[in-house]
Amino acid sequence: MPLATAPFSTAILQWFDQHGRKHLPWQQNKTPYRVWISEIMLQQTQVSTVIPYFERFMQRFPDLPTLAASNTDDVLHQWAGLGYYSRARNLHRAAQMVMQTFDGHFPDNLEAMQTLPGIGRSTAGAILSIAFEQRATILDGNVKRVLARYLSITDPVNERSVEKSLWETATTLTPPTRSADYTQAIMDLGATLCTRTKPQCTSCPLVTTCKGHAEGIAELLPRKKATREIPTHIATFLILRAEQSILLEKRPPHGIWGGLWSLPEISGTPNKKLIHELCEQQLHLNIKSFTALKSFRHTFSHYHLEIHPVMVPTQLPAKIMADTDQIWYNPNQPAAIGLPKPVQLIMRNLP
């Protein structure tokens, strides 16, 4: 199908003028900072989920200098529950880099913007078009889906050659004017009509020229290379409680839940010997008993985690060594620290 740039963008923009989303929080009082925060939060996360997080984040960090001057625990605390925590750590690092390297001014060109942690080509394109009104290309999951269906691309979209072709197509179709509206429009189209399942083709402004719809295969697209079944890992989480306080440990800065505060963890299902060894060697606690609580599953992008919470009552809080990343945390008087969603769930359901 030959690309008709003007009809494609015109149809999408006309639809956007009537049906597009124009009252999202980050579309109000629009600044590069607010657009940047929203675009990072929207990576792999739905708009409805992001809205309350964005509003709370803006209340706590209303501008870039405030975010840059904050500590990582505070940033992760505001992010807790939104997932993909490397995004929050990258936001914090990028804010500090803008203050130090760019004199507090958010960069307004593609190359400089991509030097900031957490900003790739598509996110940079979205920020440039929405915040700076520049003609810039995006290719997020929504746009890939729209283009794969519109052009009936049956090859896997996660193959390098196909993605390269999609970038070229997306660039060609991006109009020279109304860049911010077009970027929002094509994202909205993928999020509200050209959805992953049950696309509303009859309401789509591209229905008369969509090759995938004409061939009756729109719902089958886009295709991806088969991925292997994700594995399941098993872990025992120790709830060491003394009076109203629970022992938490800070996780390493990288990896799953990097920089967040979590419960002491043992690989595998509850094991009396290992639990006793951990308590004695790390906390110098002689525990007498423990109670297994209901296990549950938490899913990451690349594996399932089967969590077995174990309640371990102790006496008065043991003294914590100065060189350890451990704290006694009172859920009734919570400190401003980042907690993984499963740990929040365990805290809420403590007997």
DSSP state of 24: -
Taking a C-beta distance cutoff of 8 angstroms, is the pair 259, 79 a contact? Answer: no
Angstrom distance (rounded) from CA 252 to CA 259: 6
Angstrom distance (rounded) from CA 80 to CA 74: 10
Taking a C-beta distance cutoff of 8 angstroms, is the pair 290, 275 a contact? Answer: yes
Residues 6+ apart with CB under 8 A from 137: 122, 125, 167, 170, 171, 174
Taking a C-beta distance cutoff of 8 angstroms, is the pair 190, 141 a contact? Answer: yes
Angstrom distance (rounded) from CA 64 to CA 58: 10
Q: C-alpha distances in angstroms, 61 versus 27, 86, 312?
A: 17, 18, 37
Angstrom distance (rounded) from CA 56 to CA 52: 6
Residue 39: active-site member: yes
Candidates 39, 133, 229, 249; catalytic one: 39
Angstrom distance (rounded) from CA 260 to CA 262: 6
Q: What are phi and psi of 242, to 5 degrees?
A: -125, 115
Q: If DSSP codes are grouped into helix, strand and coil, which group holds residue 306?
A: strand
Taking a C-beta distance cutoff of 8 angstroms, is the pair 228, 213 a contact? Answer: no
Task: Give one DSSP letter per residue of 71-122, joined into a string.
Answer: -HHHHHHHHTTS--THHHHHHHHHHHHHHHHSTT----SHHHHTTSTT--HH
Amino acid at the residue 262: S
Taking a C-beta distance cutoff of 8 angstroms, is the pair 325, 250 a contact? Answer: yes
Residues carrying an active site annotation: 39
